[in-house]
Structure formats: structure tokens, C-alpha cells
């Protein structure tokens, strides 16, 4: 990344549309429910997202979510996101996503994505993928990430995906309790773990795990900062100021809105540069 010319690094953006594969309309009811929950139906292509961030001089980390086993829906190819990052390496980094149910075959894919495609980390969504993060099923995948000393982002807290659907779309919120990452942080101390989002309704659990385990970080994506719990802002200003990261959850929330509200959410001026960029620079090894 061209760090000097970037005002911030957004650690949490989503690939929404594949230009390689045809649209898979299986399970499209999840999209409609998410549109209603987030009051947004933006579905930009990967290139449209890159253009948006380039115009604003903000770096971005992008990924999809491989939930093929639990949802039965075809994923956006990891290789497509990685290729876009290689072509826009001054501004973009690719993370991969591999369904933990793929076990050793998934671990083989991860290794290939790292070694052949330059993927710099991985995304997990326990609720959508249908697994407890501490399930030994996922250990072969974590072992590859830890071996390469890469970060892994885990969705935590409530999920807008499935919200309002009959039975919540069959998705279990409990999988995304941040306390489930405590075992992972112990067994994989060389894997940097990012807990995504204010972890409603388990914000205190998230702060406890991050304070106790030095390889655990928190990204602030998915919510407008004006709605952040007060204890999250307090810890971001003090004990966790070096492990808090800017993330938007784009396209569900735009960095324009996030940054506007960030200025008024009670963060100390001296911690803002770290949250917006410097902490991500250290985490991603960009120095």
C-alpha cells in the first residue's frame, strides 16, 4: 500500500458481486432481509468499490464470506478478489474466506491463496458459516494462518444477516459470542485475531478478551460511531488504543458516514490517527 498518500485504512469491506461467476440467486431472501435491516441495497462491483476508495484516498481490505456448506450459496471466488488487489496494490489488500466445514481441503486452499495469490489474511463469520470458533474442525485452517503469521477477522455479536426472517433464517447468533475466541487466542498466539463490530449484546465480553489476550484486536465496523457503547469508546481511548481499528462494513455503511460520526463520538484526538490508520499499518505489516 502507498501508506503515505492514504488518510485511513478500512479493515472491513465486502465483495458483493462477482464479475467472474453468474449471480447465484439461491437464498436471495437473505439479501432482501439484509436490505431491509441495513436500509441499504448497495451492491457495487469490486472495481466500483476500489474506485470509490481511491477517490477518497482510503486503503481497503476486502473479502467475501464462504458459507457454501451452511447456506448452500456459491461464494465469490477468493482469486477474483486477490487479482483485484494485485492490480490495485497501492490501495487494496485481499483477505480470503474459506468455509471451516471444508477442513483439510480448506486448509490446502488457504495455503494456495497465500502462496500463489498473495492473500494477506482471512475472514470468518461464525453465525453465517454455522460453527463455534473454538470447534476443532477449524483447527487445520487456523494452523495455516498462524504458520504464516497472518490476521483473521471474526464476525462477533448480532448479525444483520437473517434478521427479521422466519426463525432468523436458521442462523444462530450464539456462534458469534466473542468469548468463543478466548480458546482460539490461547492455542494460536501467533494468529492476530480481529473481533469485528461492536459485539452487541456481548460488548463487555469482547473488551475482556481483547484486554486479556494481546493477539486480539477490535474493528469498529458495522455501526455508526454515534451508536457505540460507551465502554467501547472508553477502552479505545485507553487500554486498547493500540488495538482498535477503523472498519466500515462497506457497502452496508459508507466510510463517509462513519468518519463524520467518528469525529463526534468521544474519541480522544491523540488516539484517532492510530484507529484510522497507524494500528492497521502495524497489524498488516506495512511498515
Fold for 3-283, please state it: TIM Barrel (3.20.20)
Whole-prediction pTM: 0.96
In the predicted model, what is the mean pLDDT of the chain? 96
Residues 6+ apart with CB under 8 A from 7: 56, 57, 58, 276, 277
Q: What's the pLDDT tens digit per position in 19-74?
A: 999 888 878 899 888 888 888 788 899 999 999 999 999 999 999 999 999 999 99
Closest CA to 128 of 70, 73, 177, 76: 70
Domain boundaries defined on the chain: 3-283
Cα angle for residues 98, 103, 108 (degrees, 5° grid): 70
Q: What is the pLDDT of residue 246?
A: 98
Q: What's the pLDDT tens digit per position in 222-271?
A: 999 999 999 999 999 999 999 999 999 999 999 999 999 999 999 999 99
What SS3 class is residue 220? Answer: coil
Amino acid at each position: 500500500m502507498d501508506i503515505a498518500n492514504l488518510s485511513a485504512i478500512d479493515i472491513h469491506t465486502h465483495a458483493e458481486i462477482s464479475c467472474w461467476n453468474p449471480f447465484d440467486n439461491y437464498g436471495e431472501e437473505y439479501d432482501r432481509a439484509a436490505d431491509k435491516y441495513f436500509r441499504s441495497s448497495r451492491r457495487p462491483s469490486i472495481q466500483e468499490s476500489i474506485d470509490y476508495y481511491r477517490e477518497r484516498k482510503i486503503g481497503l481490505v476486502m473479502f467475501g464470506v464462504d458459507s457454501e456448506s451452511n447456506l448452500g450459496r456459491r461464494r465469490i471466488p477468493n482469486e477474483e478478489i486477490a487479482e483485484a488487489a494485485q492490480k490495485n496494490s497501492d490501495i487494496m489488500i485481499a483477505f480470503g474466506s474459506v468455509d471451516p466445514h471444508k477442513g483439510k481441503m480448506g486448509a490446502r486452499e488457504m495455503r494456495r491463496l497465500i502462496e500463489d495469490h498473495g492473500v494477506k489474511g482471512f475472514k470468518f463469520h461464525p453465525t453465517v458459516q454455522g460453527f463455534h470458533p473454538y470447534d476443532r474442525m477449524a483447527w487445520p485452517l487456523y494452523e495455516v494462518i498462524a504458520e504464516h503469521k497472518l490476521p483473521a477477522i471474526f464476525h462477533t455479536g448480532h448479525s444483520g444477516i437473517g434478521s427479521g426472517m422466519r426463525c432468523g433464517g436458521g442462523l444462530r447468533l450464539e456462534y458469534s459470542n466473542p468469548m468463543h475466541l478466548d480458546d482460539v487466542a490461547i492455542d494460536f498466539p501467533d494468529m492476530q485475531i480481529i473481533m469485528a463490530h461492536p459485539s452487541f449484546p456481548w460488548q463487555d465480553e469482547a473488551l475482556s478478551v481483547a484486554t486479556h489476550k494481546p493477539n486480539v484486536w477490535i474493528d469498529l465496523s458495522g455501526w455508526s460511531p454515534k451508536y457505540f457503547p460507551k465502554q467501547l469508546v472508553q477502552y479505545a481511548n485507553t487500554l486498547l488504543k493500540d488495538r482498535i481499528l477503523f472498519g466500515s462494513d462497506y457497502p452496508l455503511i459508507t466510510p463517509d458516514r462513519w468518519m463524520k460520526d467518528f469525529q463526534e463520538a468521544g474519541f480522544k484526538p491523540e488516539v484517532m490517527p492510530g484507529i484510522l490508520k497507524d494500528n492497521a499499518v502495524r497489524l498488516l505489516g506495512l511498515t
